[in-house]
Structure 1
Amino acid sequence: MKLTKIGFLANPIAGLGGALALKGSDDISWNDLGSLIGPGYKKALLFALILKERLKEKIEKVEFLVPDGMMGEDIFKRFGLSYTSVCSPNYPSTNLDTKNCAMEIKKEGAEVFFISGGDGTVYDVYTQVKTSIPIVGIPSGTKMYSSIFAKSINAAAILLEDFINENYVLEAGEILLVDENTIRENGSYRELFRGIAYTIESKNNLLHQQTKDLSYSEEESLEEIAEYVNEIVNDKVPLIIGPGRTCSKIAQKLNIKKDNVLSVAAGYKGKTYCSDCNSLQLSNFVDSLDNLDLLRIIVSPLGNSGYLFGRGNHQITGYILSKITIKNLLIVGSRNKMSRLKSLLIDIPKSNKLLTLSGYTRAIVGYEEEVVIKVELA
């Protein structure tokens, strides 16, 4: 029986930079993070669990080519999935280990490559395989602007199943890498690399995110939105203000300090609690509130992907979202952006507590101008 060879690699610290308000983890060593384990590893575990449940008897037809240890072997061993170790990365691992293992996985004949991480991890793999192997990103990083990322972990598992069943099409996807240092320093985006890779798409469903638009929305629309939010919010309302150009404009109007365009801020109108909050600071802020009904989380979907949470704003965790309902959200976005989106998505591990965030709500697109849009779990 011919086995389908699936390449797999996880970046164990991918995504930690989001919760820690670092805007990414490209230049951060494992030692600097206290050897913490990030979403890149935890979401890889969930991916393997979903695979085991979905594939069942088909799992015998698959050979996973993985690195030793936490970058692959530990994950598949935990769930009793068949695998072959093809490389021995160092621990703590670096991007050089990612590149070396990607090359070995390619040499062993991988037919498709699944990567748990963010743009940096995907880029490192791409430098070694280029267009020789289709790449699918399992969304786990802080920055995920590339269009080769699946919409969710479950969507990535469906893509793998469709690949095995030959129910897929080969498509071109974009690899995009931005400079974390310029984001940290002044909140601006500077592209370091933009290239084309191959990925796979299901014949039945659209399971990939679209490339995110890093350009700024029209200034007039942002000014209208900021002015309207300033009028409807009073100084008794506790606020969490998410990343993005629109939210930064609103923070400025509300006189709440926000360090840069990717920062998450919290406080009250005219009073800043934290200007570049990490997840712990936000949790403490929420826990300190006597009346959670008053809390408003001002958030804007980033670019064309339509994600409200789980992409680029990991500081706002599932713990925080589990305490609120859709009524606590103050969604904002330019007319052009909102007109392109059919729905808004939340990519947070699903639980019954998050169901209160699903449904139809209003989004502010101008001064006293709103649209109705659906929010759903990815």
Structure 2
Amino acid sequence: MSVFHLGLIINPLAGLGGSVALKGSDGVAAQALALGAEPRATARTRLALESLLPVAERLEFVTFAGAMGADLLQEMGFAYRLLGAPLGQTSRAEDTRRAVQALQEAGVALILFAGGDGTARDVCAVARPSQPVLGIPAGVKIHSGVYAISPRAAGALTLRLVEGGLVRLASGEVRDLDESALREGRVAARWYGELTVPEEGGYVQQVKQAGVESEELVLVELAAWLEESWSPQVRYVFGPGSTMHGLAQNLGLDTTLLGVDVIEDGRVIGRDVTEAQLFALVDGHPAWLLVTAIGGQGHILGRGNQQISPRVVRAIGLEQLRVVATKRKLGTLEGRPLRVDSGDPSLDDAFPDAVRVWAGYKDELLYPLQ
């Protein structure tokens, strides 16, 4: 059984100011505690993690010591690995940023963080656009669109991902109010950036007849999305298979059904290439790798596409890999993970526990990988 790695960051001071009418917690933690406020972030996180207890044996959390995550995980019986500790007796914004950097370097599939808008700002300051995160609402102010609607909703959505359900990725805004102005009776909001967050993925999209997804229509729409977003002088490697061939046809490109082809600036520059030819085309050149999954089996590398060798994948980079698969094709896996078998165990181990899947027009999912 594969182990799914989740990042966890708790801002233990989040929400302190609410119960004592301080309208927030930023910069007033000591005052809030003196007024009798009780920390609530850990309790809110517990509510989220309770949903994951049925799959605890399949999980390993990656976190920081003490109240930032380890204490609660140990109390609840989850397996966890420490990557660091807060710099002082209580965590600060700098600790949250350090934790995010460490967790994404560790390659976790999803970072769960408990806090409010101030915590979201700290996460946004260092999170990569490719790193999925999800907020557990624990702060006084929750204006940012990166939080689940409740702690239990955060847990349920994470459980869905671990169990192989379809989870859509979206862009969520990080916004925060000026707490000093708020305490003076003025409302001043500011946009701080965006984070990649999971949403519940629906099974019915691109409807043609009787609510059944049409793969042909999905490929038409995927082609339109890709054509809108081509990056100039970037090489796109199309793996073999009917899905990729159909996508290429809708782009007006003459590619091979069972070969690997390379596209740049809307034209085919390498058709049915060998491994050596492919490596020469992508080594040192900006590139994306687009592959599909074998229906019912789930392999994305190592079955019928050996031209895409470990050195090719490393030259392109794992962050530039996307799986192209319709929701119907993913449904044939019945919740089983996608798989890689590149022939290089160290590369296989470097893959994240979940990969991004293009499933329709501007419809991106997060799906488990083993």
TM-score, with length taken from structure 1:
0.50
The residue type paired with residue 120 of structure 1 is G
Query: 1:14: which partner in 2?
Result: 14
1:175 is paired with a residue whose SS is strand
Q: CA RMSD in A?
A: 2.0
In structure 1, runs of 5+ residues without a counterpart are: 206-378
1:101 is paired with a residue whose SS is helix
> 1: CA distance between counterparts of 2:76 and 2:117?
27
> 2: CA distance between counterparts of 1:136 and 1:183?
26
Tell me, yes or no, if structure 1 residue 85 matches structure 2 residue 86: no
Aligned residue among 97, 106, 113 for 2:104: 106
The change in CA–CA distance for 1:204 and 1:37 in structure 2 (over 3 A counts) is farther
Q: Percent identity?
A: 31
CA contact (8 A) 2:17 2:140 kept: yes
Query: 1:46: which partner in 2?
Result: 47
The residue type paired with residue 71 of structure 2 is D
> 2: CA distance between counterparts of 1:200 and 1:19?
30
Tell me, yes or no, if structure 1 residue 199 matches structure 2 residue 158: no
> 2: CA distance between counterparts of 1:62 and 1:144?
28
Offset, 1:130: 3.4
Q: Deviations over 1:154-177 (max 9, x none)?
A: 110111011112321111111112
1:22 is paired with a residue whose SS is coil
CA contact (8 A) 2:17 2:32 kept: no
> 1: CA distance between counterparts of 2:23 and 2:32?
15
Tell me, yes or no, if structure 1 residue 123 matches structure 2 residue 124: no
Offset, 1:47: 2.1
Offset, 1:50: 3.2
The change in CA–CA distance for 1:37 and 1:19 in structure 2 (over 3 A counts) is closer
Offset, 1:124: 0.6
Offset, 1:178: 1.9
CA contact (8 A) 1:31 1:92 kept: no
Query: 2:189: which partner in 1?
Result: 190
The change in CA–CA distance for 1:107 and 1:18 in structure 2 (over 3 A counts) is same
Offset, 1:107: 1.4
Q: How many residues align?
A: 200
Tell me, yes or no, if structure 1 residue 153 matches structure 2 residue 151: yes
Offset, 1:24: 0.6
The change in CA–CA distance for 1:106 and 1:30 in structure 2 (over 3 A counts) is farther
Q: Deviations over 1:208-245 (max 9, x none)?
A: xxxxxxxxxxxxxxxxxxxxxxxxxxxxxxxxxxxxxx
Q: Deviations over 1:70-105 (max 9, x none)?
A: 110001100111111111112222111111112111
The residue type paired with residue 83 of structure 2 is V
2:144 is paired with a residue whose SS is coil
CA contact (8 A) 1:48 1:75 kept: no
> 1: CA distance between counterparts of 2:150 and 2:46?
14
**Which structure is larger by alpha-carbon Rg, 1 or 2?**
2
Offset, 1:51: 2.2
The change in CA–CA distance for 1:137 and 1:6 in structure 2 (over 3 A counts) is same
CA contact (8 A) 2:19 2:37 kept: no
CA contact (8 A) 2:3 2:60 kept: yes
> 1: CA distance between counterparts of 2:113 and 2:81?
16
Offset, 1:31: 7.2
Query: 2:259: which partner in 1?
Result: none
The residue type paired with residue 62 of structure 2 is L
Offset, 1:32: 6.0
CA contact (8 A) 1:4 1:62 kept: yes
> 2: CA distance between counterparts of 1:174 and 1:23?
21
Offset, 1:179: 1.1
Q: Deviations over 1:273-292 (max 9, x none)?
A: xxxxxxxxxxxxxxxxxxxx
The residue type paired with residue 125 of structure 1 is V
Moved >6 Å (runs of 4+): none
1:138 is paired with a residue whose SS is strand
The residue type paired with residue 39 of structure 2 is G
The residue type paired with residue 185 of structure 1 is E
CA contact (8 A) 2:124 2:194 kept: no
In structure 2, runs of 5+ residues without a counterpart are: 204-370
Query: 2:209: which partner in 1?
Result: none
